[in-house]
Amino acid sequence: MEKLEMEDRDELLRKCRPSIALAYNASVASEELIFQNEVLRPILKFQNDLLVNLFNHELVTRKIDVGGLDEQELRNKINQLLIKDQSIKHKMMGICVAMFTEKELSFYLQHQKSINKRILSMLAERIHDNILN
């Protein structure tokens, strides 16, 4: 089997991400906002079904019924699980981080705390929207 070079891997990762048209001014945006819009959003969109299915599996495994929760209670429960349950949090973060190119990983490692907050916030919103629909 042929060895996959890092450049080839990076190119494959970029190609599999969906393009997302966003209206923001990149010339005045922070590096982290640019990273969020150009890297995180496409990765989360690409991995959406996997992330939502994993979260739903975790709910079933832990016997957590979200059916009777109102919208705010549901939002709170999702945030609680993503932030406080290290097992769920690490699985979800791993699914996202595994899709980074080498350069993106380097940026992530330099800004890990703030990028993690962005990932978890966007992920919570996606899960919330998917559970409601």
Amino acid, single-letter form, for residue 79: N
Cα 60 from Cα 49, distance rounded (Å): 16
Please report how the helices 48-61 and 112-132 are oriented relative to each other, as an axis angle in degrees rounded to 10: 80
Cα 83 from Cα 66, distance rounded (Å): 17
- Tens-of-pLDDT digits for all 133 residues of the chain? 566 677 899 999 999 999 998 777 878 889 999 999 999 999 999 999 999 999 999 999 999 998 888 999 999 999 999 999 999 999 999 999 999 999 999 999 999 999 999 999 999 999 999 988 7
Amino acid, single-letter form, for residue 42: P
- pLDDT for res 3: 65
Cα 110 from Cα 87, distance rounded (Å): 23
- pLDDT for res 4: 65
Domain ranges in the chain are 35-132
- pLDDT for res 100: 98
Cα 87 from Cα 105, distance rounded (Å): 21
- pLDDT for res 2: 64
State CA 87 to chain mean position distance. Answer: 15
- pLDDT for res 132: 80
